[in-house]
Amino acid sequence: MTIDVLNYLCCPACGSDLESRNTSVSCTLGHEFPIRNGVPDLVQSTRAAAAISDTFSVQWSRYEYGQDHTWSHSLDDRIDGFLAHLGIDSEWLRDKAILDAGCGNGELTNEVALRFRPRMFGTDISESVYRAHQQFGANVSFFRSNLSDSVLRPERFDAIYCGGVLHHTPDTRHALGQLAPAVKPAGRIYVWLYWKIPTLVYRAKTALRRFVAPLPPRAQQPIVSVFTAASWIRHGGRTGWRDHRLVQHDFWTPRYRWEHSPDEVIGWLHDLGFSDVSLQSQARDGFGLLAVR
């Protein structure tokens, strides 16, 4: 862990500044949080946090660096998307403070750091941040946090990138409200969220998901395997089995999986002080919004 990361973080319990105590970090009011495997762990123990962490810890523990692809995309494609989503070019990033909020396996976070040399930070509620730190800690400052709790000091980041994360929290609007104050004046935030897909098949799968998501991980895995096989066959085996499994795990197992509309989230961002909000990307299952403060 670098001491520098603490200049961007605050205590999730009271909002006070944090300082390092070798094997832990603590605030001026005495709240203490461990440093695990070199990573500050600022997740407060709650049933909701444990459910989210368990799901995505299992998901990313199966990810093989150098072999698998995140959402079947190459790193080059993901970098192109990152720049387009934030509405920036590579020169804009140099020496900026950038947060990947919900960094998962950390590959994109690291690639941005290597190519463009910003001060790059990555956080996730899952234990994936420990593996990410082992792989990429020389280039990225990782910390573990719950996006539903405010752990970020105000106006610290030039940009926050949050792709496909906030809808997996108990309250999407609340989690967005915890991230927003950390964006600097004239800074930007990009969020990607699910929307409803108006098909009978999707509605049937969503109804079935309500029964699958609360199950323990061992009971979920055979169901994920069945739908992985169906997806792999439907796509003619054009992408790898493991890539399909990652997508199916992400649909069936999260405790929370909310769906929103662009207009709804644009209203939230305006309320949070962002005057320039635009629909930056859209796909079959969701949309991305870019907001500038």
pLDDT in tens, 260-286: 999 999 999 999 999 899 999 999 999
| Neighbour tally for 268: CB within 10 Å | 19
- Over residues 145-202, the pLDDT tens digits come to 999 999 999 999 999 999 999 999 999 999 999 999 999 999 999 999 999 998 999 9
Give the angle 155-111-151 at the CA atoms, nearest 5°: 30
Find all residues with CB under 8 Å of 52, minimum gap 6, and list them.
125, 126, 146, 168, 169, 254, 255, 256
Global pTM value:
0.95
pLDDT of residue 241: 85
Superfamily name and number for 3-196+256-292 = Vaccinia Virus protein VP39 (3.40.50.150)
User: What residue spans define the domains of the chain?
Assistant: 3-196+256-292, 214-252
